[in-house]
Amino acid sequence: MTRRELREHTFILLFRRDFHSTEEMEEQLSFYFDGIDLSEDAGEQTRRRFLSAPAGEDAEEVKNRFYEVCSHRDEIDAMLVEATSGWRLERIGKVELTLLRLALFEMRFDERIPDKVAINEAVELAKKYGTETSAGFINGILAKLVEE
């Protein structure tokens, strides 16, 4: 599985996190990993539209990444509030906020990922999951954070 696919799975789980309590997330993780099923009967076009299911080491990496981002969420949110000139995080769309959290985690807490890669990947995911303005918004906020 590619790094991009692993990142996208992590994004989806982090997005779910905003809609479920901490206590529910273990069950949500099980639902997520057990619920992804693209049978061999699915057409090629269908398979290309969906992510392949992470299994084994890939599934563990996605889960670990999810928990790592969650463990730094308060620090990340504080950085985002500062970078957005005091905006309340509730004013930022859930997709954009989740992508900002993931990218900022990669920029500040994962030395394996260069800042430019984290920003580019967040922008690409914003184009896929966000609105027309999501990619520009995310790029602007993250570029501001690189300068700091």
How far is C-alpha 102 from the chain's CA centre? 5
Mean pLDDT of 121-144: 96
Q: State which H helix or E strand residue 138 sits in.
A: helix 134-147
CA distances from 43 to 33, 49, 92 (A): 21, 10, 37
- pTM of the complete model: 0.86
In the prediction, which pLDDT does 44 show?
43
Helix %, strand %, coil % of the chain (to 5): 75, 0, 25
pLDDT tens digits for range 63-100? 999 999 999 999 999 999 998 887 789 999 999 999 99
126 vs 21 pLDDT, higher one: 126
